Structure 1
Amino acid sequence: MEKVLLITGSSRGIGAATALLAAREGYRICINYQSDHEAAERICDQIRELGAQVIAVQADASDEDQVIALFARIDAELGPVTALVNNAGTVAQASRLEEMSEIRLLRMMKTNVVGPMLCAKHALLRMSPRHGGKGGSIVNVSSVAARLGSPGEYVDYAASKGALDTFTIGLAREVAGEGIRVNAVRPGYIFTDFHVLSGDPQRVNKLEPGIPMGRGGVAEEVAEAIVWLLSDKASYATGTFIDLGGGR
């Protein structure tokens, strides 16, 4: 089976690290990004240096019209998607619930829950034998926040990742008989610029003393787990979660 991979939100951080590792594993890759074209092109250049085929497509992965156009581009230039990593996500400034606006809450759920569901929907239209596909693999990027709740920081983000976990379990069981596996990773305390969105770029450094392993993680460590779950090496894994939080 051809290996065509879409990674949403992959111009930097965990998504970019996953793309680089997948390129070494023979995937044809779509780098999806929302706004930073230059960052997306830098990752594409690195992937091309590895000898892999890659395209960059700008799209909001939580807007269905844009998701439809995204998948159409991939169909035309790489072939139908056989692997999907739902990596695009957002977080907001650390605060208590009573300080959160309705707009913030709706945006959080649209980006972190509705977006992955829409992308999975359009991936299934290509992967499922019901639609002429030959199976595939989906990995959702959740967070240890789904287990810990993130009190006093961003319970909305934690709740969105909890919903993503539930979606992972349900969809895995829904399509298990169709040759499609659905799994998730739960990163936590990873050194990426994602923490800038919460207003605390040094968050991982500050939390390191409370992490059992005594250090934060790096994007490449998460990428290893994602690519393993995508691969045939994880052929009997579905509805499975890999926690990557240094023991927390």
Structure 2
Amino acid sequence: MKILILGAGQVGSSLAKYLGSDDENDITIIDKDEANLSSLQRHLDIKTVCGHASYPNILEEAGIKEMDMVIAVTKSDEGNMLACQMAHTLYQVDKKVARVRTAEYLHRKELFSDSAIPIDFIITPEGLVTDYIKRVVEEPGAEQVFEFENGLVQLVETRAYAGTPIVGHPIKELHEHLPKIHMRIVSLYRNGKAIPAYGDTVIKDGDRVYFVTKKSSVSKVLKEFRRLDKAYRNIIIAGGGHIGLNLAKHLEKNHRVRIIELDKERVIEIAE
């Protein structure tokens, strides 16, 4: 597959390394920083073009007419959206991917369609981080939470503690303790090593447990492994950047949230 990456920052460089590791992919990357491009080219078998990623002449120099996919991950949301628009309108590129961080754009779903701005997939790294932290905050006792099926099902990591219902007992007893809950232990780690999670496997103090269940059942399952912490009420967020502000907006309905930020102008902007 011929792939054009716009932007050689952290995300663009990581994509180039990952996608370029597949011999079937032919990677070209555009960026304004020639030194950054030279560094990438020394370590990767890719083509680089120095210039503005949303200028048609630069896109054509990079071979956009032959590309199967364009991935726009420059620092500018507007530049990324414009590049995808041109890739679609001028060059009929099949797949367009763009990083968009600004909430004001993301909240307008009607913007992203073939009849408006034709982006097939939107990357929002800050949004992923915000969602992840929000899920952990909402499930006291969980150390990691991953969602599936639009949030209806969750994969949860927790640690087992002595004195709780299942510690010292085999896994199969979970179904006796929770007869109305559908759940499954999918992975179990002891002293840093994976061990089989059979029905007769006894849960021990300190085990790291990964289980899958419905979101509505997570807190009941967690009680089998640890005494649950009280629900978090007061939260301090260090940093008022994109992630900090978005996280505060998500949490403020059910929590008392304070943001610590060094930049006085940013503080005023957040307060407004």
| TM over 0.5, shorter chain | no
The interval holding the TM-score normalised by the smaller chain is 0.3 to 0.5
- TM-score, with length taken from structure 2: 0.41
- TM-score, with length taken from structure 1: 0.45
Relative to its length, the structure with more strand (as a share) is 2
Q: Which has the larger radius of gyration?
A: 2
Which one scores higher on RCO, CA 8 angstroms, separation ≥ 6?
A: 1
